Structure 1
Amino acid sequence: MSWIDIGALDDIPLRGARIVKTRMGCVALFRTDPEEVFATSDRCPHRGGPLSEGIVHDRKVTCPLHNWVFSLETGAAQGADEGVIATFPVRVEAGRILIDAAALGRRSAA
């Protein structure tokens, strides 16, 4: 994997999100734990809601438009909802967030 430094962990509040613009579009970063971050596409497949503006809880995000819930680990919609959002490998090293550059080019969902 080819890792790209996309920012400081402390730039994302705990249980918060931020957007990173890439060549492939906007990626939402979600901080679920002091040392845990997930990266997904920013758009809900239901109505295009901005997931980065949703509520982060456990390892999930709730879309701010119609309350659809997505796993940040798998991208799968939860409960009776259907759909999937793209997820991207990330890791935290020395307080910096790194994302797999190659995975951005393989966006298959959302």
Structure 2
Amino acid sequence: MNVLKEQVRIMPFEDLPVLIGKEVEIQGNSIALFRLTNGDIRAIGSRCPQTNGPLAEGIVSGEFVYCPLKDWKVSLITGEVQAPDEGKVPTYNVEIKNGDIFVSI
């Protein structure tokens, strides 16, 4: 079964700083956006699965973000917490169109 996803415009690409997270609310979903040094944009659920800490306030290293409360390492690609810790946050598809960031919900 195909599930239709809606693309929602978030902001201009240039307005998202490199390696600084931005938390946004989209249709009841709290999402953390990150712009990596290579220009890729990643979108994941904004709350750490263990502490409910704000991942948008975490430190970005490569393609991971560290929870600011417990230092859990969360993949910006898969949403999975690095072992030996366990947990996962949702991930969202991102597209850049005409200089704007769009997230699929």
Opposite residue 51 of structure 1, the aligned amino acid is: L
Detail structure 1 runs of 4+ shifted over 3 Å in the superposition. Answer: none
When the two structures are superposed, what TM-score results if normalisation uses the length of structure 1? Answer: 0.84
Q: How does 1:71-86 map to 2 (within 5 A)?
A: 71-86=75-90
1:65 equivalent to 2:69? Answer: yes
Aligned partners of 1:89 and 1:64: how far apart in 2? 24
Matched, 1:8 2:21: no
1:2 and 1:41 mapped to 2: Cα distance?
A: 17
Alignment-mate amino acid for residue 67 of structure 1:
D
Residue from 39, 44, 56 that aligns with 1:52 = 56
Over aligned residues, Cα RMSD in angstroms? 1.3
- Name the residue aligned to 2:31: 27
* Alignment gaps of 5+ in structure 1: 102-110
Give the conservation status (yes or no) of the 8 Å contact 1:14–1:34.
Answer: no
Letter in 2 for 1:23: Q
Q: Deviations over 1:3-59 (max 9, x none)?
A: 221111112111111111122231110111353111111100111100000001111
- Gap regions ≥5 residues in structure 2: none
Identical aligned residues as a percent = 36
Q: Which residue of 2 aligns with 1:98?
A: 102
Which residue of structure 2 lines up, in the alignment, with residue 41 of structure 1? 45
Amino acid at match of 2:42: F
For the Cα contact (< 8 Å) 1:14–1:31, is it kept in 2?
yes
